[in-house]
Amino acid sequence: MSKAIALSPHSPEYKGISALNIIYEAGLDRDSRPILVLCADNLPNPDIYDYDLILSFIMGRLDEFVENDYVMVFFASPARYSPGWFWLLRAYRSLDRKYKKNLKALYVVHLSRTYRFVFDLANKIISPKFARKLRYVSNLQLLKSSIELAPQFIPQRVIDHDRQLPTIQQHVEQQQIQRQRRPLPSLAFGKSLEDLAALEGNTSADFVPKFVVQIVNHIKEHGLDKEGIFRKSPSSEELQSVKAAFNNGMKVDLSQHDIDVSAALLKVFIRELPVPLIGLKLSEAMGALPDASICTSDTIQKVKSKLALHYAEKPNHLGLLKYICQFLRLVSEHANRNRMNTHNLSVVFTPNMIRAEEVTSAAYINVPDTQQSALADAAVYLKQMNQGMVLVQLLITKHDEIF
């Protein structure tokens, strides 16, 4: 059984398969790792499409993410067309160590008993270690307790299928979720900058929380030359433990933890700000921006003016943005060792800084959208992130001129 080879983005088949939206980006998880969604319902008619090309396309998309930690959600049902067992086993075998190494978790949702047997068999034969990363999830409410997906990334037919599940099964699993301990009020992550400033008794417009300064200083001292800093994630358990310590107001010795813990904490802090550090409105208001390397003084002035207008009533956000971009500029100056130039840093930080406003929990499984609009939303998200990356890279590269 031969392995598939990744399909090149420049091949003529790539664009056609891409339009099917079989695999797409869906924001970040609570540890600030990219989420990829694989949707079985978007698989096409095998009488029309070559499924070996489909597999090559999926591997080509994964190639864009395998150098960094990521998680994947696989919506296994419903499915208009079901590939055969032989193709599934070949697909599983093709996902060698390159693809599995940095995949931190695979959530398989709505998997039938028959296909679960195939998954379990593949794990025993091909990759027993990978089984530890596999999470079988029977409904969307249970998925929500593990990973947050914005409604626009859940296809309508998946939602409809979920609503048709037996009510007894849904009720038992919802009770399990409700029994989980509610987190204590936070003193750090998830708090507004205004609340954090009040807790510290700081009225400066350039306020930066003390624990954020501690994290940044630790990275400055121990992480500037770390290859791939901000790309790798620590164990989720260790990250959540240190985060909880900060939230409880405990003294934290970051030197007792790997530098990747500090790097992840900074991303998670930005990600969990109640009001996004930049936000989609500002990013879209900036419009199309040139590459930082060819940016003119007129463009710099335009950016400065729009920043001043946007942050007129949010001085704490502007102060934090200035602080973070100045730090990231310093990180980029060590790119010959850490390989994190301004482009790579913008790829990592943009989804944390620029995001849609948080949705209500009720909206998670109650989306009045069509399947077509769900696909369009995923495409819009990708466009927004690409536009945002140009802005973030510009803010880092031209920090001294803009701020």
The confidence score (pLDDT) of residue 96 equals 73
**Mean pLDDT estimate for the chain:** 85
Least-confidence region, from 66-70, 103-107, 333-337: 66-70
Least-confidence region, from 212-226, 303-317, 343-357: 343-357
Q: What is the pLDDT of residues 261-298, one digit of tens each?
A: 999 999 999 999 999 999 888 998 998 899 888 889 99
Q: What is the pLDDT of residues 108-137, one digit of tens each?
A: 999 887 667 666 665 655 566 777 888 999
Residue 292: CB partners within 8 Å, gap ≥ 6? Answer: 342, 393, 394, 396, 397, 398
The confidence score (pLDDT) of residue 329 equals 98
Residue 382 tokens, joined: 């990708």
- The domain defined by 193-402 folds into Phosphatidylinositol 3-kinase; Chain A (1.10.555)
Q: What is the pLDDT of residues 233-247, one digit of tens each?
A: 898 899 999 999 999
The confidence score (pLDDT) of residue 84 equals 74
Give the whole-number percent of the chain exceeding pLDDT 70.
85
Beta carbons of 43 and 77 less than 8 angstroms apart: no
Mean pLDDT score, 163-173: 65
Q: Which of 138, 133, 174 is nearest to 158 (CA)?
A: 138
Domain ranges of the chain: 12-178, 193-402
Q: Which has the higher per-residue pLDDT, 84 or 326?
A: 326
Whether the per-residue pLDDT at 8 is higher than 60: the answer is yes
The confidence score (pLDDT) of residue 359 equals 41
The correct answer on CATH 3.40.525.10 for the domain covering 12-178 is yes
Q: Which of 150, 153, 151, 118 is nearest to 136 (CA)?
A: 118
The confidence score (pLDDT) of residue 376 equals 57
